[in-house]
Structure 1
Amino acid sequence: MAGLDKNTPIPTDITMHRKSRLLEITFDDGNRFSLPFEFLRVYSPSAEVRGHGPGQEVLQVGKQDVYITGLDPVGNYAIKPTFSDGHDSGLYSWDYLYMLGSRYEALWEEYLARLEAEGASRDPALAPPPAPKSSGCSKH
């Protein structure tokens, strides 16, 4: 992962609102974003979600009720949330969180359109059971 450049806004406050399932992040440039837990989960920067290259993204379905059970700092550049579905491999750097916040509406619409195109649902009751986890990344 590339290091943060001098222009990357840095969070001054990160608050987890469990009841409303929002992660509120205030940056040192004055911007404040309230990001739903589900949004953070479906846009996880992990290889499990993003794949190992363009076109390898894995559409996340049935994540409507997901919540964050833990939030750990990673150095001075990222946070690592643990989600209620067991997902915990995404490192959310400050620049990635800032991008998610500044592009929230467009990214959310894109996600909903992908779900619709795939005939998938945000509702966990309508989602297929998760595939068994592999023991790591493998090259094919």
Structure 2
Amino acid sequence: MAGLRTDTPTPVELTVHGASRVLDIAFSDGARFRIPFELMRVYSPSAEVQGHGPGQEVLQTGKREVEILALEPVGNYAVQPTFSDGHDSGIFTWDYLYFLGSQQDALWAEYTARLEAAGLDRDAPMPAKAGPSCGGH
């Protein structure tokens, strides 16, 4: 499982900065990142965001002002944030947080390209979720 490899750097400091909406995280290998909450939210590792396979990702919008209301530890390998928009199913392993921090520029570029391709911007509201299927009707 991600975050359990012996070569994965582990956090030595982790601070949630509510006013600037960034997660400040320092790792055992000396790396330090300031990861915006918005980036964490749009790249949440949850199935709700990532889908259950390639091509099933759900493009997230309207997350610029999202906040982290709570950050709970998950064992010794991850944290699970509760975001102000109600999203709370993503488990962020240490190596995933390291990935988000170290690849921020590329991830932002990918996100903005996906938004542009969809004809959306960061502040567009998320579309309403479809209701349950009616089976064969």
Distance change (3 Å), C-alpha of 1:43 and 1:133: farther
2:127 and 2:47 mapped to 1: Cα distance?
A: 20
Q: 2:70 matched to 1:78? A: no
Unaligned 5+ segments in structure 1 are 135-140
**Aligned counterparts of 1:70 and 1:32: Cα–Cα separation in 2:** 21
In structure 2, the partner of 1:115 is: 115
> When the two structures are superposed, what TM-score results if normalisation uses the length of structure 2?
0.91
Q: Which residue of 2 aligns with 1:130?
A: 128
What is the DSSP-based 3-state SS (H/G/I as helix, E as strand, rest coil) of the residue aligned with 2:69? strand
Please list the CA deviations of residues 27-52 of structure 1 after superposition, one character each: whole Å capped at 9, or x if unmatched. Answer: 00000000000000000000000000
TM-score by length of 1: 0.89
Unaligned 5+ segments in structure 2 are 133-137
Which residue in 2 is equivalent to 1:138?
none
Comparing 3-12 and 47-56, the one that deviates more: 3-12
In the alignment, the residues of structure 2 paired with residue 32 and residue 93 of structure 1 have an alpha-carbon distance, to the nearest angstrom, of: 16
1:65 to partner: Cα distance? 1.1
2-structure distance, mates of 1:96, 1:131: 27
Query: Which protein shows a greater Rg?
Result: 2
Match of 2:55 in 1: 55
Distance in 1 between the 2:116 and 2:125 partners? Answer: 13
Cα drift, residue 129 of structure 1: 4.0
**Does the 8 A contact of 1:121 with 1:127 survive in 2?**
no
Return the offset for 1:2.
4.5
SS of aligned partner of 2:105: helix
SS at match of 2:109: helix
Moved over 6 A (4+): none
- Distance in 1, matches of 2:66 and 2:16, equals 14
The corresponding residue for 1:104 is 104
Q: Displacement of 1:20 after TM fit?
A: 0.4
Q: Which residue of 2 aligns with 1:19?
A: 19
Deviation of 1:122 (Å): 1.3
Question: Structure 2 vs 1, CA of residues 128 and 42 (structure 1 numbering), >3 Å: closer, same or farther?
Answer: closer
Identity of aligned residues (%): 63
Counterpart in the other structure of 1:43: 43
Shift of 1:130: 3.1
- CA-atom RMSD, angstroms? 1.5
